[in-house]
Each structure stands twice: as structure tokens, then as C-alpha cells.
Chains A and B, each alone.
Chain A
Amino acid sequence: MLKTALMKAVATAALSTGLTLGTWASAQAVDLQFYFPVAVGGTAAETIQSLTDEYAAANPDVKIDAVYSGSYQDTITKVITASRGGTPPQLSVALSADMFTLIDEDLIVPFDDFIKTDEDKAWLAGFYPAFMENSQTGGKTYGIPFQRSTPVMYWNKEAFKEAGLDPNTPPATWEELVEFGKKLTKKDANGNVTQWGVRIPSSGFPYWLFQGLSTQNDVILANSDGNKTNFDDPKVVEALQYLVDLSTKHGVMEPGIVEWGATPKAFFERQAAIMWTTTGNLTNVRKNAPFEFGVAMLPANKRRGAPTGGGNFYLFKGASEEQLAAAAEFVKWISAPEQAAKWTIATGYVAPRPDAWETDTMKAYAADFPPAIVARDQLEHAVAELATYQNQRITGIFNDALAAAITGQKDAATALKEAQTQADAILAEYR
């Protein structure tokens, strides 16, 4: 027992050193702890650090301790654990889709109390509405968009030329995607496919890219209160059937579950002539694709459409009024046009406000690399990423249903019907 006590003492001493230093500092300045996850390679972490340093230099009365908290999954775990242990951060970036989870765990406070002046209101109104859908519920604003993304379509211009297609015209509709895909699918002498027409990855979180298809079919997957899903809507079934048909009926996509992580590589290796993936891959593709490529919006069916994704800022309970106010100020600063532009250029995330695209830095960047604008333009058609209460579980159920249909275990309608029944059972208590 002595040993346990001793170890505990050592560990807590180590932990609280940081803590006491913090308390000491707060006697003179507002002290903030800020968790941020990094989900893309490159210089994301360094950029955040330099932005917070810049803010601290301009505001000596605020001290910000930016803590790199790993992946999104790590971050949500960390904030839940820290909050339960009584030491929540004051500010954190977490998945926008985790908003309901954070509300359900009673961990976050809305930003509304810190948006008082007309200037503040104008700032809040300045974000793309597509991003705000995942940030507001019940008339309150819980999240401020920060590192947000959306899926786009990349195509191999050389492959288009070889297939006799215009290299500068990507497919704009579902029909064209199939039609082009058939021309782009190449077979060797044995009849084995050497190049697939299309690649829509379906491993890990298939719901996200599928949401592109369902939105294009003019249906939303969950309501904005996060307590009702529409998985068995006939339009959702139709969208899933289209995805399944790409492999089974039209033979333009690799059958089975298509790995997300290997998708850029498959594109570079000319295994697929068109791929759908996040805008977060722009820098990667630009650097590594051994051929000329284009970036376009996802094709349309009944309408254009794509989900958004990525992380929002959240304010946490347990912080003093003073800390929360300071945190909100920091958020306002870091999401202002100049800072947002810097962040976008460093990471490939989509700047969440139209005015960020009007800055000189951003204009220069867009002129140099026009594909960056595609994501922005798509935002006008974008919808909120699937988010509900008990989000991980609901999306888990939905992912399983998609996988079952894609691998031919169940037909689309049955799989989605079952998923809807399960989701209803879970969400009933939140209505």
C-alpha cells in the first residue's frame, strides 16, 4: 500500500507542478489552457503554437497554454476525463460532430453570453452557414468553426486524356460519374482491372463520404436537434444503392470496403482515375501526384451537396467568468480573417469565413493554387456532418449498415431499415 501511496504522490506532484504554476500566474493574468488536436500532417501544430504566441505577445494580460492533445479521439477522451477529474481545459478544439456528446456530458457552455456588441454579432454572422449548422442547436451557439474541411473530387488528367475524355471536364452528375468511370476503367489481357474509374473510400468512417451522396439526393441524415435520424428514407436507400451499383452493376469501382488511408496512394499509383477525399489532402496530392490532376466539387444528382467535417472551438464548464470571456476573445481573434488565412494556407483546411478569402494573403494563395477555391465554392451546397446524441454509437450503427450493403451482406433497404430501428431505440430518450 505504501508503494501505491508513494507512486500516487510522485505522480500527483508531477501533475500539480504545472497546476500550481498556473494558479500562481493567474494572480496577475488570466490563464487559459487550450487543447488542440491535429488530424493532418504538415505544420499544423507549429502554426497553432505560433498563432497563440502572437496573441500572447499582443495581450500580455492573457496567458495561453496550448496543449497538443493528439487525434480527435484522444482529445474528446482527454476533455471528458479531465472534466470528470475536475480540471477541464477552458478551451478546446474538438470534432464539430461531438457537440451533442459534449452537451450530453454537460461539459460545455454556449458562446452566446460573450457575444454582446454589434461587432460580435457581425463576427458570428460572418461564418459560412454550412459550418454553423454543426455549431448551433436549440437556438444557442456551442461551437465556433476552426479547422473545417469538406470532401472534394480529385481526377487524373492524364488518365482522362488516355480514355478519350476532356482532361478539363470532370463528371458533374451521377450519370456522368458512371459514364466517365466506365471509360476510365482499364483491363489487362486476363480481364483483370488495372485501373478503376472511381474510388470512394468506405473504411473507418464511411458515413462521411456517403453523406455526400445522400445530400446530392436531397435528403439529410439527422435533424438539427440531434435526436432523430432518417436512415431508412427512400432517398437514402437510393443513394446507397447508387454507391453499391458503382462496383456491382457498373463495375467502375473496386468491390468491397475501400480503404481510406490507402486512397491517395492508389490515386498516385494510377489504380483509380477519380478519387473522393478530404480537402485536407490537397497539399499531399499536390506534392506527390506524378501526373497533372484536377480538383472539382462532388457531382450532383438532385442537387449538389457535400458534408462538412473537422473541428470547432468549445468553451468548457468549470472555468471562471473571466477565463471564459478571455477564451472567447481569443477565439474571436484567431478566427479573424488574417489568422484564418494563415491557418488555411498552412494546413489545407477551409477558411471558415468568406472575409478570410478576401485578404491579400488568401487571394495570392488562391491565384497560385486555384484548386483551393473549389472547397470554398462547394460550401454553399454543403450541409452539417452527421451528428446526434451518442454520436459515436449512432454513426457506428450507420457505418455497419453501409458496410453490410457495400459488401453485399444485406440489401441497401434492409440494412438501413435495421440501422434506423437501432438508432431510434437509442435516441428515443433524447426526444
Chain B
Amino acid sequence: MTATDTTARAPLSIRGREWIHAWLLLLPALVFLFAFTHIPAIATFWHSFFSTPRGRRPARFLGLDNYERMIADPVFWKVMGNNLWFALGTIPVSIALAIVMALWVNDRLAGRGFVRMAYFTPTVLPLIAVANIWLFFYTPGFGLIDQVTGSLFGWPHTNWLGDPATALNAVIVVTVWKEAGFFMIFYLAALQAIPPSLVEAAKIEGAGKWTIFRRITFPLMMPTTLFVSINAVINSFRLVDHIFILTDGGPDNASSLLLFYIYETAFEYWETGYGATLTVALLVILCALAIGQFFLFDRKVHYK
């Protein structure tokens, strides 16, 4: 830490100037950070103890009523369960696919340019717009999936989005499709930064492809995996755009996620008080994850 050394030796007045400079540099960013992240987070917590102000009736203090309501709310538990399944369904699959894609695209494969473009296009297309396309794919009868499975295997119509057993999985597929190509870019950058001499040396020793991947490539990409997995975790709580078009959370909340439920509560039912309480639940989960990730980060990745 050379920075500390220099300042430790510097006279007090210079150190004081350093402090002022640093604070001035930080000030604009901090103002915005606090105004739109930290203060709202705390305000959410505060408002979660109040009723929703409505027309003639101002907000009144409810104590833990909103929390009791949340605990007793079957829809809340349903969306929590859904969100867990959504995270388990999207995170590992999109990361595994991203790694496979990156390995392929990094290889000297015929038509690499096209393949890379194909993998990457979902990143550029807005989720809200492609949801309409996927809606067509999933439509029973004349939808693309049914047309293909019907003519190839003679399968009957499947109502992917209209059946609680498949609706959430159908949403997960769209999410994986959207995310994998984006994550691939990070892995591609990581792969290209691995010294080729390492791989060469392993090959001379007679190591197979799988061994090279397991012993060299994968461990060296560990920081990327952590970075990408943080992104994937965040996305599993953030990506709800397509639900608006695909299922609207249905049938009977079978494909609703926590953030979608917060939106419905606060901006369709206009219950901002209870919406705040639900947001607190989401914040608690994210903070727990944050703490967990920091430990992982500190141990495995020396970002300092």
C-alpha cells in the first residue's frame, strides 16, 4: 500500500488537503448514491410500519401489522418459493451455458463469427419486446413449439404458459436465453487472458481436454465465475420484464416473482405501505446475499 506510506510521511497540511480533495471528488457520487439507494432503503424500512395514505385518509402507524399480514399472505410465500426456484433454474444453467458458449466461440470453429453473434443477440434485444416473440413460441396449437413437436413427434398441444406446472419454467427458459450470451462475453474475455503456454504445457504432459478445463481453465476463470454469479443472483431478483407479457404472474401467481408482486401491490393496487413491507423482505434477502458474497469475494478474489 504505497498510498498509505506517502501520506503517512506527508506533513499534516498536505494530508488535510488530500482529505478535502478526496471528499470533494466523492461528493457528487455519494449524493446520488444516498439519494436513490441508501436513503430509500432506509425509508422503505420506515414506511413498512405505516398504512397506505389514500385520498382523505393519511398514513397511520401500524406497528408490525404489515409484517403480520405478510407472514399470513399465501401469495407472498408463493412468490418467495417461485423466486427461489427461478434463481435455482436460471443461475447454474445460464452460467454453465455461458462457459460452454465461450469455449466454443474461443475455439477455431467453422463460422465462429456467426455463432458468436447468435449467442450475443439476446443481450441487445429488450426483454419486454422479445417476450412477445416467446409468447408466440409458447402459444398452444399454432405456436412454434407446438408446430415443431406436433409435426416431428405427433405430440398434442401443450399450454406452456397456461399451466401452473410449466409457466414458471417457461419464464426461466426465456431468462436463460437472455442472460447466457451476456455472461459469455465475460468468460470469453477471461479465456483469452489465460496464457496459452499453460495449456500448451498441459498438452505436452498428455492432459486431455476435460482435464485441461477442470485443472487449468476453470480455476483460472474463478474470479469471472464469481463476478458473473453475483450478476446472475441480482438478475434473479431483478428480471421481471417478460412476466408482464408472458403470464402477468399467472396462472394464480404460479409465475409471479417477488419484484413483480411488489410492483403489483404498489402500482396496481396502490398499496404503497404493504409494498414497502414486501420490499423490506427483498432487501433482507439481498443484504444476506451481500454479506455472503463479500466473504466469498474476500477469500477467493483479491480485488484489493
Q: Which A residues are within 8 Å of any B CB, using their own CB?
A: 1, 3-4, 73, 77, 80, 101, 104-107, 190-193, 202-204, 254-259, 261-262, 265-266, 269, 271, 390, 392-393, 396, 399-401, 403-404, 406-407, 409
Contact = CB atoms under 8 A, between A and B. Distances in A.
Given A105-B55, A106-B56, A396 B164 contact: no
A1 B31 CA distance: 7
B164 A409 contact: yes
Nearest to A255: B159
B156 interface: yes
A181 B248 CA distance: 29
Interface in B239-296: 247-248, 250-254, 264, 267-271
Contacts of A101: 270
Given A393-B271, A396-B268, A258 B156 contact: no
Given A192-B156, A269-B142, A4 B31 contact: yes
B162 A262 contact: no
A399 B264 CA distance: 14
- Among A4, A190, A390, A403, max chain B CB count under 10 A is at A403
Given A392-B270, A393-B271, A256 B162 contact: yes
A390 B264 CA distance: 13
B57 to A, nearest CB: 9
Nearest to A193: B157
B81 interface: no
Contact of A271 (B28, B141, B248, B269): B141
B139 A259 contact: yes
Contact of B252 (A193, A254, A404): A404
Contact of A192 (B32, B154, B270, B271): B154
B265 to A, nearest CB: 9
B55 A106 contact: yes
A257 B251 contact: yes
B164 A390 contact: no
A271 B28 CA distance: 59
B269 A192 contact: no
Contact of A396 (B139, B154, B264): B264
B54 A105 contact: yes
Contacts of A73: 268
B157 A259 contact: no
Contacts of A254: 140-141, 157, 159, 162
Given A256-B159, A406-B251, 5 more contacts: A104-B55, A257-B161, A401-B252, A404-B251, A404-B252
Contacts of B139: 259, 262, 265-266
B219 to A, nearest CB: 44
B251 A271 contact: no
B162 A257 contact: yes
Nearest to B250: A403
Nearest to B53: A84
Contacts of B89: none
A193 B156 contact: yes
Contacts of B270: 80, 101, 392
Given A254-B140, A255-B159, A403 B251 contact: yes
SS of B interface (majority): loop
Contacts of B250: 203, 257, 399-400, 403
Contacts of A403: 250-252
A254 B146 CA distance: 13
B54 A262 contact: no
B200 interface: no
A429 B161 CA distance: 37
11 contacts: A105-B54, A192-B150, A193-B157, A203-B162, A254-B162, A258-B162, A269-B141, A271-B141, A392-B269, A393-B269, A407-B254
B135 A262 contact: yes
B165 to A, nearest CB: 9
A22 B7 CA distance: 60
Nearest to A272: B141
Contacts of B55: 104-107
Contacts of A256: 140, 159, 162-163, 251
A400 B56 contact: no
Contacts of A269: 141-142
Given A73-B268, A104-B54, A190 B162 contact: no
A399 B56 CA distance: 29
A4 B35 contact: yes
A245 B150 CA distance: 25
Contacts of A106: 55-56
Contacts of B75: 400
B154 A257 contact: no
Contacts of A105: 54-55
Nearest to B156: A192
A193 B142 CA distance: 12
Contacts of A390: 269
B297 interface: no
A104 B55 CA distance: 6
Contacts of B164: 407, 409
B248 A204 contact: yes
Contacts of A202: 162
Interface string B25-40: 0001001100100000
B154 to A, nearest CB: 4
Contacts of A266: 139, 141-142
Nearest to A410: B252
B141 to A, nearest CB: 4
Nearest to A261: B135
Nearest to B256: A400
B104 interface: no
B213 interface: no
A104 B269 CA distance: 13
Across the A-B interface, the 6 shortest Cβ-Cβ residue pairs: A257-B162, A256-B162, A256-B159, A106-B55, A403-B251, A192-B156
